[in-house]
Amino acid sequence: MSRSCLRNVNLFDGLTRDHLGGVRQNGSITSINSFNMLTDILLVVEAPITIKLRDTGHPLPLNTEPFKAGDYDIFCSQGNLRRKITDDVCMLRLVNQGESAQEDSFRDGVRARDGSWCGFEAAHIFPMEQEELWNKNNYSQWITNETGCHSATIDSIQNGILLSASMHRLFDVYFVGVNPDDNYKITHFSYDNWGVDNRVLEDVCRKEGSSDRVADGLCRWHFRQCVLANTKGDGEPVFEHDFPPGTGYDRRDPPGVVSRRAYGIGAQFPASGFAG
């Protein structure tokens, strides 16, 4: 199914009733989280906005209580909000099918830091196939450990995290993200069959003062991609992939999951998009 079909929250322009987007709320998204997603990522507005739950007409309180499911109307003195939606889109990336293509030093370094768990894989936060954009946008600025055993900064273990094979695929398509600005809280933007939503990233990979800790800037970049992919408009298309059983995407071209063939894209397509 498509990302929009997963949603239990929908957002509308309060004046025109145009649909702006939405999100799947599994419990981790608070009222202030939703407000920040709107004002910091989805909308380009200078005037204040007011968010009202349509059923009650009550303004959304900006607190840490869970964001209630339902339809919301957004009001802004700047007028038509559909024209204020950001032009940024998430960066498309290949879904990793294992660790064979990764540098041994990257894999071994991530495992040494996070633990050698059976069935877990060392995942790149920023995709390694987008190294040209990594260099162009100077994302190496977030790599503080310059003495690590890596041949390129994109393969620094600060750009790595240990994930189960199933979670690795969900992470790659932006269904799961970590918000470093909210105590490293994990948000699952799809059906949370794995029970990870509202949990916190393990301390082992983000120890304060450690030169090998996961880079906050990269977690922040990835979380922004998650918001763009899942909440803007109808959401980004979900391409056919070999998703594991239980994710809801383990069938061949299920309804709403777009095959790469429909776009004329080969199995090793060069991922493209904007860094957001």
Tell me, yes or no, whether 154 and 209 share the same domain: yes
Tell me, yes or no, whether 108 and 80 share the same domain: no
Tell me, yes or no, whether 48 and 161 share the same domain: no
Q: What is the pLDDT of residues 117-136, one digit of tens each?
A: 888 999 999 999 999 999 99
Q: Nearest Cα to 49, choosing from 73, 21, 30? A: 73
Q: Is residue 214 part of a domain?
A: yes
Which of the four pLDDT bands, split at 50, 70 and 90, describes residue 145?
A: confident
Q: Is residue 255 part of a domain?
A: yes
Bridge partner residues of 51 (DSSP): 74
Query: What is this structure's pTM?
Result: 0.85
Domain boundary among 31, 55, 84: 84
Q: Measured in whole angstroms, how far is the alpha carbon of residue 102 from the centre of its chain?
A: 22
Tell me, yes or no, whether 173 and 215 share the same domain: yes
Q: What is the pLDDT of residues 20-61, one digit of tens each?
A: 999 999 999 999 999 999 999 999 999 999 999 999 999 999
Query: Does 70 score more than 50 pLDDT?
Result: yes
Q: Tell me the residue range of the domain where 203 lies.
A: 104-262
Residue type, 253: D
State the residue for tokens 């995942």.
123
Q: What share of the chain is helix, strand, coil (3-state, %, to 5)?
A: 30, 20, 55
Q: What is the pLDDT of residues 96-121, one digit of tens each?
A: 655 544 578 889 999 999 998 888 99
Bridge partner residues of 75 (DSSP): 50
Tell me, yes or no, whether 50 and 180 share the same domain: no
Tell me, yes or no, whether 75 and 142 share the same domain: no
Residue type, 238: V
Tell me, yes or no, whether 15 and 131 share the same domain: no
**For residue 150, what are the contacts with CB-CB under 8 A and spacing of at least 6?**
103, 105, 106, 109, 156, 157
Report the domain count for the chain.
Answer: 2
Q: Is residue 95 part of a domain?
A: no
Tell me, yes or no, whether 54 and 149 share the same domain: no
Tell me, yes or no, whether 115 and 200 share the same domain: yes
Residue type, 132: E
Tell me, yes or no, whether 136 and 12 share the same domain: no
Q: Measured in whole angstroms, how far is the alpha carbon of residue 22 from the centre of its chain?
A: 14
d(CA 216, CA 125): 11
Domain boundary among 53, 84, 115: 84
Largest CA distance in the chain: 57
Query: Quick one: which H or E segment has residue 33?
Result: helix 31-37
Q: Is residue 270 part of a domain?
A: no
State the residue for tokens 């050698």.
116
Q: Is residue 96 part of a domain?
A: no
Strand positions, DSSP E, the chain: 9-13, 19-23, 49-53, 70-76, 120-124, 160-164, 176-179, 185-188, 238-239, 257-258
